[in-house]
Amino acid sequence: MKNSDSNAITSDMIRQHGLTFGEFNRIEDLLGREPNYTELGIFSVMWSEHCSYKSSRYYLKKLPTTGPRVLQGPGENAGVVDIGDGMAVVFKIESHNHPSFIEPREGAATGVGGILRDIFTMGARPIALMNSLRFGAVDHPSTRFLVNGVVDGISNYGNCTGVPTVGGEVYFDSCYNGNILVNVFCIGLIPSDKIFLGNASGVGNPVIYFGSKTGRDGIHGASMASSEFDESSEEKRPTVQVGDPFAEKLLIEACLELMKEDWVVGIQDMGAAGLTCSTFEMAGRAGTGIDLDLSKVPKREEGMTPYEILLSESQERMLVVVKKGMEKKALSLFDKWDLDAAVVGEVTDKPIVRIFDNEREVVNLPVELVVDGALDLKRPIKKPEYLKNLDHVDLAFVSELVRGDDILEKLLLSPNITSKHWVYEQYDHMVRLNTLGLPGSDAAVLRVKGSKKALAMSVDCNSRYCYLSPFVGAQIAVAECVRNIACSGGEPIGLSNCLNFGNPENPEIMWQFEQAVSGMGEACRFFDIPVVSGNVSLYNETLGQAIYPTPTVVVVGLLKDRLHHTTQWFKEDEDLIGLIGLTMEEFGGSEYLNIVCDRVEGLPPQLDLNTAKSVNELCLEFIQKGLLNSAHDCSEGGLAVALAESCLSHPHSPKGAVLNVDSTLRNDAYLFGESQSRILVSFSAKNRLAMETKAKIMGVPFLVMGKVGGDSLVVNINGKEFINGDISNLKKLWLGALETYVR
Amino acid sequence: MKCGVVVFPGSNCDHDCFHILRHVFKLDTEWIWHKDNVNLSKFDLIVLPGGFSYGDYLRAGAIAQFSSVMKEVIQFANSGGIVLGICNGFQVLVEAGLLPGALIQNCTQKFICKTVSLRVENTSTPFSSECLEKSVLSIPIAHHQGSYFIDPEGLNQLEDNQQIVFRYCSSVGEVTDEFNPNGSVNNIAGIVNEGRNVMGLMPHPERCADPAWSNIDGQIIFKSIIKKLHSGASL
């Protein structure tokens, strides 16, 4: 019954396929008939939230997506940004949250595989991966299993494909207990005139399938990613695909070799919704149709039905259209790389996809109806009730401190602040010899071979801020990434986002989404950064418990000269330490409040975009003039943690520091508050005058606070010692904590 | 002098080795595709690069040893040609029987990517002649199956014949368990065959040989090889 196409569609089938009756009626009306069972499966995945963006598209239109450097904005496999010298970068961040929660190792691994394919499908050599990982509380019973599985999956897949994983972020919060987030980013390098798109153009051109064989894994993965979890989610494990990084490596090399040929017309990988999605989308972009014969598709197992073949999400598969007559050349190239390949179809002129199983027609659908037919939903929005009680910090719970030593230690032990070397040492972050800035500084920095330029990239989102104010939180995510890029010596050129939220059918979640996208859009317009790619992941919710809104942001920046590359750690004894930017009395949403007072409340720190910009400009000016020895952004844990990180993160020899400051603020706010737009720098004393003068001219607060050197981290406030910690002890705490939580 | 970098399906440090030989040391360097029947006699140096040949399926290096190019590599090595196997290349050399012992899972059960210190144990090989005896090099490792293992008899033989070229150590050269990243016996990081013309090492000298980085400790291994080949002296 299930696999038969002759049976009428029942209301149970419609429900099981995640379609509403309204949507089903729309399909029937526009099609002029009832779809068959296989066609229902196609609509189920193509009209799923995951593939159609039906809840989010209306808002996403508000993001700025154009700019002089943009060669390809959203809508293709990935965005493309010009970096000059005839080169461009291709990049995108994407979620693999639902599969990674159900099966962490394979879920995370196939997330890496999918994002890699999005990049090399455009003709680019992938040069780096990054990721943003969010897990539940460290003491939650499944956190260890999930962390180890996810990190192992990324490590195994990324390392094997020979693409370095150069940076990322790892957060822990109980809001992710039931829904972890695995967002993976990839960037590739491409000659700016050699960009390949997923177009099936040229009537009569052959459509070739290549890569791994098709199996029964991952059927309905896209639909799974479009619903909430409940007690039965474990049962969805079979919908998680299994990756083969070795096949992916062969696919990368074969594709890049293939794309040197001038007879390649269009190419696309098979990701979510598998062969169905690539067939319809490639035809859709070119305004053509495709005739496909499923009997020709290389299969892993016998007896697969058309429904299963079309909806399989088996990994490491591609679809390419080549010029007629070039089939043999293409097939022999795939043979060289030991990849399965077969001509499976042909481009046709009518915009209809017809799918055959040998002679029998099993699908006949207009392309536009499938690709663009899902109605954009303007779901209702409503400001959440929870915000009413959280808009201020109750200082009754935040007692003033006489000394800050314990608090600093507690913060360095916080899983959100402690060194992440246990994670990134499991990733090959050096292969391909481009990684100038290894993990563990503000941004990852890669050289661009054959040019003196370098690329900087940073991924960030403080979801606690976003919970307290999605608008400001999203702005801060953008601003912090830009600041990280500035600290590393670069200027932003493009942005990719991964918008992770709860169930959009809940108006309060939709409000969070609307606010976050508006905030992000405003910040991007202000900094003049185009959003060139991205992904939306909704339904991150289990039994009605949604994650904090988590609009993860990646900003890619360009260093005019790779010699400008600057790192966060102190380098020379006797160097002066200074702070660019202003410290205010702010506690809202801070890690201090969370760890020490066990409270999540208040408004996130204020963000003045003009200030943010001028602070970055001053930092960059210092760097480009060669005045700085280190620069580090102040974020979670505030000035004290930034200072400790600058002391401790030197790869060989940590440094001590002594700060003497005068302040009218509360001590705890001064050192642990998270005021935005602040950069901690170190520099040779001989540069002081020039720097102070420049700061004055630019009207940016710049305060010299102390000196590098000694075996301790000392902070004196108003002449009184507030912190005095032994560097080797602090380093031990900071380096060792994560392993004790997750190992 | 002519260098060849072997490319197995799944090799991924091939480009890095090629880059260092061709662009940093300006040597005449060619790719050798594993399926091509190339006569290796025209080469002076063959590099088996790091990576995951054949996906490391079964066991790292286990399938690559049966690749047609390996017959040629064995012949090349047996006639005295210089062969350098790095990381997965070392694993392939061991599996192919050109070097003794085995490489097993790191004792941490995890992939490890970080810079470690190596002490030079033997400077009378073509791969280390430019090093100072007992000097310390900083070179990155990046492997999951890099723990060198050999039976006690074999180990004695290696020690007696001075076939151990590099050992993991502290930044000042102490060879202790604390500085053994992966559990290798006697902290072994790199060895040569009895003929001294084949070396396998787990660390990646090609990752610290490009002057775009401040650490160029890996250069000394390539410089030693180049000097040896230019001098033309027999082994």
pLDDT tier at A273, thresholds 50, 70, 90: confident
Residue A238, pLDDT score: 63
Give the number of beta-carbon pairs within 8 Å between A and B: 83
- State the Cα angle at A103 between A100 and A104, rounded to 5°: 50
Question: CB–CB of B114 and A433 under 8 A?
Answer: no
Dump pLDDT digits (tens) for A480-539: 999 999 999 999 999 999 999 999 999 999 999 999 999 999 999 999 999 999 999 999
Residues 400-429 of A with CB under 8 A from B: 421, 424-429
Which of B58, B113, B217 to probe the A interface (max A CBs under 10 A)? B113
Q: Are A710 and A657 in contact (CB under 8 A)?
A: yes
8 A C-beta contact, residue A571 and residue A629: yes
Length of chain B: 235
Measured CA to CA, the distance from residue A450 to residue A428 in angstroms comes to 23
Provide mean pLDDT across the span A316-333. Answer: 97
pLDDT of residue A305: 93
Determine the residue among A316, A425, A452 to mutate to test chain B binding: the one whose Cβ has the most chain B Cβ atoms within 10 Å: A425
pLDDT in tens, A397-407: 888 999 999 99
Query: Mean pLDDT, to the nearest integer, of B206-220?
Result: 96
Catalytic residue, chosen from B72, B95, B121, B206, is B206
Q: Which residues does chain B have within 8 Å of residue A249's beta carbon, measured at their own beta carbons?
A: 9-10, 12, 52, 55
Q: Residue A221: what residue type?
A: G
Specify the pLDDT at position A239: 67
Range of the domain at B29: 2-231
Q: Residue A159 and residue B204: Cβ atoms within 8 Å?
A: no
pLDDT(A699) > 60: yes
Contact assessment for residue A465 and residue A589, using Cβ atoms and an 8 Å cutoff: yes
Chain-chain contact of B207 with A250 (C-beta, under 8 angstroms): no
- Residue A456: how many CA atoms within 13 Å on its side-chain side? 29
Q: Find chain A residues with C-beta within 8 A of B111's C-beta.
A: 155-156, 159, 426-428
Contacts of B2 (CB under 8 A, 6+ apart): B27, B28, B29, B30, B42, B43, B44, B45
CB contact under 8 A, B142 and A428: yes
A277 within 8 A of A337, measured Cβ to Cβ: no
Amino acid A282: pLDDT: 96
Distance (Å, rounded) from C-alpha A421 to C-alpha A125? 27
User: Which A residues, 130 through 159, put their C-beta within 8 Å of a C-beta on chain B?
Assistant: 152, 155-156, 159
- CB of B230 within 8 Å of any CB in chain A? no
Spatial distance between the Cα atoms of A417 and A741, rounded to a whole number of angstroms: 13
Average confidence score pLDDT of chain B: 96
Q: Give the active site residue among B87, B131, B169, B208.
A: B87
What's the pLDDT tens digit per position in A578-589? 999 999 999 999
CB contact under 8 A, A156 and B111: yes
Is residue A86 scored above 60 in pLDDT?
yes
How close does chain B come to A564, measured CA to CA in Å? 13
pLDDT in the model for residue A228? 74
Query: In whole angstroms, what is the distance from residue B220 CA to residue B158 CA?
Result: 23
pLDDT score at B37: 83
Q: Is 80 exceeded by the pLDDT of residue A230?
A: no
Question: A654 and chain B: CB distance < 8 Å anywhere?
Answer: no
CB B132 within 8 A of CB B120: yes
Q: What is the pLDDT of residue A222?
A: 62
Q: What are the DSSP calls for A149-191, one per residue?
A: HHHHHHHHHHHHHT--EEEEEEEE-GGGSS--EEEEEEEEEEE
**What are B10-67's pLDDT values in tens digits?**
999 999 999 999 999 999 999 999 998 889 999 999 999 999 999 999 999 999 999 9
In sequence order, what DSSP letters do the residues of B12-80 get, joined into one string? -SHHHHHHIIIIIS--EEEEEETTS---GGG-SEEEE--B-GGGG-SSTTTTGGGSHHHHHHHHHHHTT
- Helical ranges in A543-637 per DSSP H: 591-596, 609-624
What are the beta bridge partners of residue A94? A184
- Which residues from B are below 8 Å from A245, CB to CB? 52, 55
> pLDDT tens, B81-125?
999 999 999 999 999 999 999 999 999 999 999 999 999 999 999
Least confident residue range of A4-13, A156-165, A704-713: A4-13
Q: What is the mean pLDDT of residues A246-267?
A: 96
Residue A52 has pLDDT above 70, yes or no: yes
Cβ neighbourhood burial of A556 (10 Å; 0-12, 13-18, 19+):
buried
Tell me the residue type at A641. Answer: V
Averaged pLDDT for residues A605-630:
98
Q: Which pLDDT value is given to residue B234? A: 44
Q: Is A652 an 8 Å CB contact of chain B?
A: yes
How confident is the model over A354-391, as pLDDT tens digits?
999 999 999 999 999 999 999 888 899 999 999 998 98
Q: Please, which pLDDT band fits residue B235 given cuts at 50, 70 and 90? A: very low
Which of A245, A431, A436 is closest, CB to CB, to B55?
A245
- Contact flag B35-A336 (C-beta cutoff 8 Å): yes
Catalytic amino acids of A?
50, 96
Q: Determine the pLDDT at residue A225.
A: 64
Compute the distance between CA of residue A63 and CA of residue A522 in angstroms, rounded to an integer. 8
Which residues on chain B are in Cβ contact (under 8 Å) with A433?
Answer: 15-16, 19, 206-207, 210
What's the pTM value of the predicted model, to 2 decimals? 0.96
- Check CB contact of B51 with chain A, cutoff 8 Å: yes
Q: What residues of chain B lie within 8 A of the CB of A247, using their CB?
A: 55
C-alpha–C-alpha distance, residues A692 and A121, integer Å: 49
Would you mind telling me the total number of residues written for chain A in this entry? 743
User: Would you say residue A1 has pLDDT above 50?
Assistant: no
Residue in A60, A48, A52, A53 with CA at minimum distance from that of residue A516? A60
Cβ contact, residue pair B111, A338, below 8 Å:
no
The domain total for chain B is 1
The fraction of chain B above a pLDDT of 70, given in percent, is: 98
| pLDDT mean across residues, chain A | 94
Mean pLDDT of A429-456: 95
| Complex ipTM | 0.96
CB distance from B173 to chain A under 8 Å?
no
Residue B147: CATH number of its domain: 3.40.50.880
